Amino acid sequence: MRMVKKLAAGAALAAGLALAGCIDMEMDTAILGPDQARISGFAQVQRGMLDMMGGPDGFCDEDEGTLEMTDEYARCNMLFEGSFDEVFEPSTDGEPVPTATDLGDGTVHVTFPLGDLTAEMEEMRAEPEMLAMFRPMMEGHGITFSISGREIVSSNATISDDGTRASISFALTDLLEEDPGLPEVFEAVVRY
């Protein structure tokens, strides 16, 4: 499985695990050239939740990350570098997936769909009892996605003071709100 498809699956996993309120995730997509990217970051779940899910299989594949386990948590540390074809995978079922497009002028347009994260929570928002039960477990957990390169030319997210990274961060409890304040797509134009 290509890494960005893994990240998209990770985002879906995040939404699913968010139902249990037990995930933290940080992922950075660094644009290194007109056809080179590096994905780095981690996904971390409470150890008890991982055990309830049947263990680390499917959470951290050997060829895509290294698993770190303690009594309290399981953490999948990821680092992958390759061409856009190796890192980004087109959708085969019409679902939105992350993309990177070389614009031919020393920049790349990167997109990460976020709409599925909030869509996963619609069922929970419709059930007030379920919402009340899961909200306390989700508190204190969050997700950060970033896109980086030599310069962020534009983005719909927060650009770092040095202009090299665009990031979007949110608490899992934000996903429980009717309007979590997230764009449908996190995007940036990055100079490499």
Q: Look up residue 186 and give its two tokens.
A: 């996190």
pTM of the model: 0.85
Residue ranges of the chain whose pLDDT lies below 70: 1-21, 64, 119-120
**10 Å Cβ neighbour count for 112?**
24
Give the pLDDT confidence score for residue 146 in this predicted structure: 98
Give the pLDDT confidence score for residue 179 in this predicted structure: 84
**Strand 66-69 versus strand 99-102 pairing type:** unpaired
Give the pLDDT confidence score for residue 16 in this predicted structure: 52
Give the pLDDT confidence score for residue 53 in this predicted structure: 73
Give the pLDDT confidence score for residue 2 in this predicted structure: 45
Give the pLDDT confidence score for residue 47 in this predicted structure: 85
Does residue 109 contact residue 187 with C-beta atoms inside 8 Å? yes
- C-alpha Rg value of the chain to the nearest Å: 17
What's the length of the chain?
192
Specify the amino acid at residue 39.
Answer: I
